[in-house]
Structure 1
Amino acid sequence: MNNELHKKIHHLIQSHNIIVFMKGNKLMPMCSFSNTVIQILNKFNIDYHTINVSDNNILKNEIKRYSQWATIPQVYINGKFIGGADIIMDLYKTSKLHELLEKSTSS
């Protein structure tokens, strides 16, 4: 792992309560999985940060190594890796995402 990039990723994750590493950005997701995550997060009227990995293959590969998760998007809440689009969808359907986001915005 690129040590400098690892530190940058760690800093980004720690600097934002909710951060999404994705293809595109919150205004223009560039894949259906990233779009799914954005549509779900937007339902909550919360502040969250996105990082576009589409134009940076090194960052895209490093975030996958960092999380040990092979796909994009990747969602982190309060510094903890939560998962990708399927997991966010499952958490949303079971209202567990509501709980995670409430804790995140109240901290």
Structure 2
Amino acid sequence: MSGMNEFIDNEVKNNDVVLFMKGTPDFPQCGFSGQVVQILNYLGIDYKGINVLADDDLRQGIKDYSNWPTVPQLYVKGEFVGGCDIVREMFQQGELQTHLTEKGVPVSGKAIA
């Protein structure tokens, strides 16, 4: 396992919810990352945002780690959930909230009308 892979593995396994994204939660630098941030914030999820733009090795490393070609990537309790489209779809159908709750991650946001 490469050093970058170990770094990613460590982040994913030691934080309940991790979002590998372009930019930071306060300043997303792409629309897709921004959408996932909005969803997580709406649900009141405590999560760690990791900026892949800060490191080219990380940007490539996370794609290799998950075998998923794009960023953002959301992980819950060490498991890859998906990218923006999957997260948005799960959120709209209420599946994301259920998934988080089942994994023991408190969801405090409002339910979708």
- Structure-1-length-normalised TM-score: 0.94
Which residue in the other structure is 2:77 paired with?
A: 78
Equivalent residue runs for 1:1-107 within 5 Å: 3-104=2-103, 105=105
Q: What is the distance in 2 between the residues matched to 1:92 and 1:58?
A: 30
SS in 2 for 1:72: coil
SS in 1 for 2:54: coil
> 1:58 Cα shift?
0.8
> 1:100 Cα shift?
1.4
Q: What is the distance in 1 between the residues matched to 2:3 and 2:38?
A: 32
> 1:102 Cα shift?
1.4
SS in 2 for 1:76: strand
Query: Any gaps of 5 or more consecutive residues in structure 2?
Result: 107-113
* Deviation sequence 1:74-99 (CA, Å, 0-9, x none): 00001000110000001001100001
| Identical-residue share of aligned pairs (%) | 36
Q: Which has the higher strand share?
A: 1
Q: What is the distance in 2 between the residues matched to 1:103 and 1:56?
A: 33
| Equivalent pairs, count | 105
> 1:55 Cα shift?
2.2
> 1:15 Cα shift?
0.6
- Structure-2-length-normalised TM-score: 0.89
SS in 1 for 2:53: coil
* Deviation sequence 1:60-86 (CA, Å, 0-9, x none): 001000000000000000100011000
